[in-house]
Amino acid sequence: MTAIAAATVASTLAACGGGDDGGGSSSAEGGENEASDTGVTADSIKLGAHYPLTGVAAPGYSEIPTGVKAYFDCLNQEGGVYGRDIEFIFKDDAYNPSQTSQVTNELVLEEEIFAMMSGLGTPTHSAVVDFLNDEGVPDLFVSSGSLMWGDDPETYPMSFGWQTDYESEGKIIGEYIANEFPDAKVGLFLQDDDFGEDGESGIRQYIDDQIVAAERYTPGNTNVGPQIAALKAAGADFVVGFNVPSYTALSQLTALQLGYDPQWFYSNVGSDPNLVGGLLNRFSEGKVTDAALLDGALTTGYLPTVDMTDNPWITEFSRIWDECGGEGELTNYRVYGMSQAYTMTQALQAAGQNPTREGLVEAVEAVGSEWEGPVFAPFRYSEDSHMGTSGMTIERVVGNGSEEVQPVRITDIGDAEIEEFGGEAATPPANAIPDEEAYEG
Amino acid sequence: MSDLQSPASAAGKATDEAPTESTAGANAPSATAKAGRSFLPQSTLPRHLLVLALSAVFAVVLLEVSSPYQNSQIATLSYYAIAAGGLTVLTGMNGQISLGHGALMAAGAYTTALFLDADEPLPLPLILLASVVVATAVGALVGVAAARLHGPYLAGATLALAVGLPGLAIYFHDIFGGEQGMRVRAPQAPDAFESFIETVSGNAASSTKWLAYVGVICLLITYFFLANLVRSRIGRTWRAVRDQEVAAELAGINLGAWRVLAFVVSAAAAGLAGGVLAIVVRLAAPSGFTLVLSLALLTAIVIGGLGSLLGALLGSALLVFLPPFVTNLGADFGLNGTEAAQLAPFVYGVVLIVAMIFAPAGFVGTIRLRRMTAKAKRASAAQAKAAGSNGG
């Protein structure tokens, strides 16, 4: 990039009302915004996603798109990406794969989105992952910790994970227990699918000999009495749950009935104290009113949470939610959505002034591992891996918040070592809008 | 072809006894009664073949003038309509209620998924045929039990099937992939298909279009068979069992056997629908075959008109086209994405209630009922005028 080109383009862009969009990186291409690919026009980029907005999986998860949208709305007010507004369209699939397939057809064929981002759920998204890859639609930052999106880029070149995968999470939990609770008799409470399986295989790498029982529940069956009773009978005094929030509430209530009081450790997915507190209240018909039962339980974290009011990311996200969000409070699910939108903005900036679908994927592979943001640890993106972030803290639930008991440690799937993460926590740039350079290839 | 017409209906003498309202869709005016105005052949098979050919031409035109997204909606419509067609034969023609057709679809879908999972998959028609066979076998088992049950008891038994069968996929998760199901690699379109599309319209022969064609072909074949079956001696016997058990038994009809047959035919259609669903959705997972699917099929045939294939098609179309329409309408009126999404099930419920109040026999059934009433009035008026002195 020459200095002359940089100067001309900077002035052109300032005229578009952009100002600080993309900054110096915008100079790279030179020239005007073009409709460079499907879903991209001179002044907009269309992104799409599917979420359960109705039905059993809707509580909590339906808040994620509101966070994404609030972030993009504020970003658009500041000039968007290279002067383009981000248009974010999300559709309801009610957590039913056949509906995911229908709404994805609508997004790709009718709305003609540039890329899918943040499509939620393992069974739901696996119904469309082949279609998206066949059609060449970038499938970024799937909202699920399954390994499927990231460990095989040859089969799914367009798909990328985002959150810590369940296997890495299991490994970090396993190591922590081996170090801090070497005498604990550990019981596992697992969802009977990849979620529980991946978590179990990770945790067994470290404490296979400490595990006295592994009980599985089937999602949809609300009676977990047999499983909890079996954990109690096996003498487990430390229970690790790889389960969704409603089963955190169910396991707590069942344990209360059985007079069973082990040390609980819930994986990140199932541990949001606000949501679990609400569910406890509902399931117990008002007999348990908040998440006090969860007090003292351990969990993991890869993102700042709303109770960390002095975290600069949370401060920025609160401001964004107040300015561009809708009704209600900033929740952890909205923080999750905003963080994904932040990463997406980094990806679009890196894809350059006139992005193409292939260019976007190339840029994420090439420079995605260098991005800093609200996520504690770096992403693992490369040509050989499309896995998301790899690091997690261990936290203890206190009231509706949590306190850190072990700083971020990072690892990878398989037999990769667990290491301490040496990096500093990133601080948000001005207005929480990233400024990534265009990747030149 | 899409009409399950009953030649033995009471069209000519409807004044004696009011037709059963709920199944009015199944009791169309007979062909002979219509023959004066109809340009279609009177004989069943040629008439259905003609309608089949016309429908096929219409389907090709529809698929070629519509957008790729509408193609995908038509593919979705086809699997709902195939299953609803089978169910409407069972419920409208034979008077049995099934809340378990979602599970029978699951049987077909998993069969297709397993066969397509092979290294060298069989040709697609054979795989779909296998899905039909498996679902038929399951249907026969259930049918044997169902033949002894009536009304709410039958509903309860089939409900258990709907809840229980998808659970098997979770229990045997090594074979069926558990909760996240089996991903299905949609079969590639043959070269002949591409050249066909090239000649017909010059559109791109995408995989979406291919799946839509597979769905529509299956739909047409199913409806052709069902329409013929219903117009045959089998259909007449089913209706006899439905309307008057005692009279049917006196006439030498083995009630149980005929009920099982109806269930088996209906299950076969559900199996094919499941197979089509698996390749269109590209996944067979328990969460795709919840009770909601079975209930959606039932509402589709009720709204469309029990016993009418055209009604089943219309009801399925409502299932497929109404939710996105309402969601987009809601978004246009300024609702946010979540509110607009929540509007769709609400409007569907309202449509169902309004249909029950104002058109209790469904779309097709209500229109037929009106026509039959009008005709009966004309007939009785003419009768009264001509033969008033005889006390007619």
Q: Which position has the token pair 């069989």? A: B122
B254-273 exposure pattern, b = at least 16 Cβ within 10 A, e = fewer: ebeebbbbbbbbbbbbbbbb
B389 touches chain A (CB under 8 A): no
For residue A366, give the H/E element and its range: helix A357-367
Contact, A271 vs A295, CB < 8 A?
no
Chain A interface, mutation test: which of B63, B297, B338, most A Cβ atoms within 10 Å?
A: B338
All structural domains of chain A, each given as residue ranges with its CATH number in brackets, are 3-164+308-376 (3.40.50.2300), 166-301 (3.40.50.2300)
Average pLDDT over residues B358-377: 87
Interchain pair A66, B185: CB under 8 A? no
Average pLDDT of span B177-193:
84
pLDDT on residue A417: 87
Question: Is the dihedral angle over the CA atoms B295, B296, B302, B306 positive or is it negative?
Answer: negative
Query: Is any Cβ of chain A less than 8 angstroms from the Cβ of B152?
Result: no
The predicted-structure confidence for A289-329, as pLDDT tens digits, reads as follows 777 888 899 999 999 988 888 899 999 999 999 999 888 88
**Total domain count for chain B?**
1
pLDDT at A24: 40
Which domain CATH number covers B203?
A: 1.10.3470
B180 touches chain A (CB under 8 A): yes
Q: What is the pLDDT of residue A142?
A: 94
**Would you say A193 and A224 are in contact if contact means Cβ atoms under 8 Å apart?**
no
Q: How far is CA A50 from the centre of its chain?
A: 14
- Within-domain flag for B5: no
Q: State both tokens at A408.
A: 């971020």
CA nearest B279: which of B92, B82, B91?
Answer: B82
Per the domain annotation, does B382 fall within a domain? no
pLDDT at B307 over 50: yes
Read off the amino acid at residue A243. Answer: N
The whole-number pLDDT of residue A11 equals 40
Per-residue pLDDT of chain A (441 residues; tens, 9 = 90+): 344 444 444 444 444 444 444 444 444 445 788 888 999 999 999 999 999 998 878 888 899 999 999 999 999 999 999 999 999 999 999 888 888 999 999 999 989 999 999 999 888 898 899 999 989 999 999 999 889 898 899 999 999 999 999 999 999 999 999 999 999 999 999 988 888 999 999 999 999 999 999 999 887 778 999 999 999 999 999 999 999 888 999 999 999 999 999 999 999 988 888 888 888 888 888 888 777 888 899 999 999 988 888 899 999 999 999 999 888 889 999 999 999 999 999 999 999 999 999 999 999 999 999 999 999 999 999 999 999 998 899 999 887 778 899 999 999 888 888 888 888 888 899 888 998 888 877
Please check whether residue B253 lies inside any domain of the structure. yes
Vertex B233 angle, CA B229 and B235, to 5°: 50
- Give me the pLDDT at residue B26, please: 65
Q: Tell me how far apart the alpha carbons of residues A5 and B129 are, in angstroms, rounded to a whole number.
A: 64
Note whether A178 and A206 are within 8 A (CB): yes
Locate the chain B residue with the closest alpha carbon to A104: B69
Interface ipTM = 0.77
Residue B119 has pLDDT above 50, yes or no: yes
Report the C-alpha gap between A251 and A203 in whole angstroms: 20
Residue B243 forms part of a structural domain: yes
Residue B229 has pLDDT above 60, yes or no: yes
Closest to B311 in 3D by CA, of B22, B7, B9, B15: B22
Structure tokens at A80: 């968007």
The closest of A50, A52, A69, A70 to A61, measured between CA atoms, is A52
Give the pLDDT score at A388.
93
Measured CA to CA, the distance from residue B223 to residue B303 in angstroms comes to 18
Q: Chains A, B: CB contacts under 8 A, how many?
A: 115
CA–CA distance, B337 with B325 (Å, rounded to integer): 13
Distance CA A144, CA B372 (A): 57
Nearest to B180 among A98, A131, A194 (CB): A194
Q: Is B117 inside a domain boundary?
A: yes
pLDDT exceeding 70 applies to what percent of chain A?
93
pLDDT per residue as tens digits for the range B135-165: 999 999 988 887 788 778 888 889 998 888 8
B392 located within any domain: no
**CB proximity B282 to A under 8 Å:** yes
Mean pLDDT of B165-182: 83
Each residue's pLDDT tens digit, B256-306: 899 999 999 999 999 999 999 999 998 898 888 988 899 999 999 999 988
Report the C-alpha gap between B381 and B375 in whole angstroms.
10
CB A113 within 8 A of CB A140: no
Q: Per-residue pLDDT averaged across B210-236, rounded?
A: 93
Per-residue pLDDT tens over the stretch A136-189:
999 999 999 889 898 899 999 999 999 999 999 999 999 999 999 999 999 999
Has residue B368 been placed in a domain?
A: no
* H/E element, A9: helix A3-15
Taking each helix axis as running N to C, give the angle between helix A245-258 and helix A273-283, from 0 to 180 degrees, rounded to the nearest 10: 50
What's the helix, strand, coil split of chain B in %, to 5?
75, 0, 25
User: Chain A residue with minimal CA distance to B323?
Assistant: A92
Would the pLDDT of B348 be above 60? yes
pLDDT tops 50 at residue B5? no
Mean pLDDT in chain B? 85
B103 assigned to some structural domain: yes
| A contacts of B282 (beta carbons < 8 Å) | 101, 127-128, 130-131
The C-alpha R_g of chain A, in whole angstroms, comes to: 22
Record the tokens describing residue B344, joined without a space: 């769709």
Query: What is the pLDDT confidence band of residue B214, given thresholds at 50, 70 and 90?
Result: very high
C-beta atoms of B178 and A192 within 8 A? yes
Q: Domain limits at B159?
A: 44-290
Q: How far is A48 from chain B (nearest CA, A)?
A: 12
Note the pLDDT tens digit of each residue in A42-71.
999 999 999 999 887 888 889 999 999 999
